[in-house]
Amino acid sequence: MTKFFFKRLQTAPLDQEVSSLDACDYYYRIAFFLGWNPPKEGLLRWIYTLWTLTTMWLGIVYLPLGLSLTYVKHFDRFTPTEFLTSLQVDINCIGNVIKSCVTYSQMWRFRRMNELISSLDKRCVTPTQRRIFHKMVARVNLIVILFLSTYLGFCFLTLFTSVFAGKAPWQLYNPLVDWRNGHWQLWIASILEYCVVSIGTMQELISDTYAIVFISLFRCHLAILRDRIANLRQDPELSEMDHYEQLVACIQDHRTIIQCSQIIRPILSITIFAQFMLVGIDLGLASISILFFPNTIWTIMANVSFIVAICTESFPCCMLCEHLIEDSVHVSNALFHSNWITADRRYKSAVLYFLHRAQQPIRFTAGSIFPISVQSNIAVAKFAFTIITIVNQMNLGEKFFSDTSNGDINP
């Protein structure tokens, strides 16, 4: 059982067959659990559709709606820390609705990329190339598990810090169970909230990690392609025709990677743009909760885990996009420095064509407005400091406590 669940986290031996689909193993397992990866046919597909509708309703409809209804009906019962904890999740739910709907509707793009990029697996023939490929498969699956641990860790910490304080974690509107009516009602309502928020969190996980999974695949095959290019015309036993066919194969594989990047481009543009619009607000609210309102060590840990989760939603993807640009440049450099000077005219013409295409790096943009890069991520994250400055300059924290002491707000 342990081997079944964790075997992809370890680098496979070089003599073991590994495919690009194996790099998506844990990603598709989580998608299957959420109802996003249905069976192809049969009765199970229709039963599975009911589970898909259930998780979509809980994460996309009930979660943001339940948080908003709580503010309307029970706003006077919130303490500052409870309100900010709930509000930061509610705002993040806005981005989750957009990203989850886009990602779920575009899952066919992932399957299409798996079909295209699987043709590159057979190009890994040397031990060096297979080592690069096998390490990438293990690393990507490990990243997905780390994301899952980070996201669910926030939910877990918020659950127990709130219950031990005698409060529901997010105070999600629940017409069936009132957590204020007793100890058991508190636990039942809190566990129900935890399940709903965990579903929404895992939906966001699927929307955040697909870019890491597939961009890592692109980078891996570009690294393998660079190694193959560096070894062109190095074997004296091959004829000029054989060398030319190897070059054509490299051109075709590079074209396949470009085609896959075009498939992922529309969905990546929308989801990262939605994340960029909300990351500064979320970080600002979590920081305000820590800096301006009284907290226990456990509530501080819950807010810090939320900040870490928010940062991991966009920063790794931005970093990988920058590395992908560098990998594209390395491919063109490897081609220029390959052994083509003494080749025949047809080979040189193919090299010139390939060099022209390889000099155009793979770049992604968010909303077709600004590039997906670490600099862009830092720029939008700086908005959190703007929110903190406004709260500090206007003394909103002190005014809230003043209103509370005068009885204007009854938490």
Domains in the chain: boundaries:
15-397
How high is the pLDDT of residue 282?
76
Give the highest mean pLDDT range of 110-119, 158-167, 179-188, 386-395.
110-119
Residues ≥6 apart with Cβ < 8 Å to 85: 158, 162, 169, 170, 289, 299, 302, 303
How high is the pLDDT of residue 395?
62
5-14, 204-213, 324-333, 395-404: range with lowest mean pLDDT? 395-404
Report, as an integer, the average pLDDT of 213-237: 92
14-18, 70-74, 153-157, 385-389: range with lowest mean pLDDT? 385-389
Report, as an integer, the average pLDDT of 260-279: 89
Question: Which band of pLDDT confidence, cut at 50, 70 and 90, is reported for residue 405?
Answer: very low
pLDDT digit string, tens, across residues 61-119? 998 888 888 777 776 666 777 677 777 777 778 888 888 999 999 999 999 999 999 98
Q: ∠ CA 285-286-287 to the nearest 5 degrees? A: 90
Amino acid at 135: K
Element spanning 370, H or E = strand 370-371
Question: Which band of pLDDT confidence, cut at 50, 70 and 90, is reported for residue 323?
Answer: very high
**φ/ψ of residue 188, rounded to 5:** -65, -50
Task: Count the Cβ atoms, other than its own, within 10 Å of residue 402.
Answer: 12
Tell me the two tokens of residue 172: 């999600």
How high is the pLDDT of residue 411?
39
| Residues 223, 338: Cα–Cα separation, whole Å | 15
Strand pairing category for 365-366 and 370-371:
antiparallel
How high is the pLDDT of residue 409?
43
Using CA atoms, how far residue 207 sits from 95, 110, 197, 203, 373, in Å, is 10, 12, 15, 6, 18
Please determine, for residue 138, whether its predicted confidence score (pLDDT) is greater than 80. yes
- Bridge partners (DSSP) of residue 366 are 370
How high is the pLDDT of residue 27?
94
How high is the pLDDT of residue 136?
92
Q: How long is the chain?
A: 411
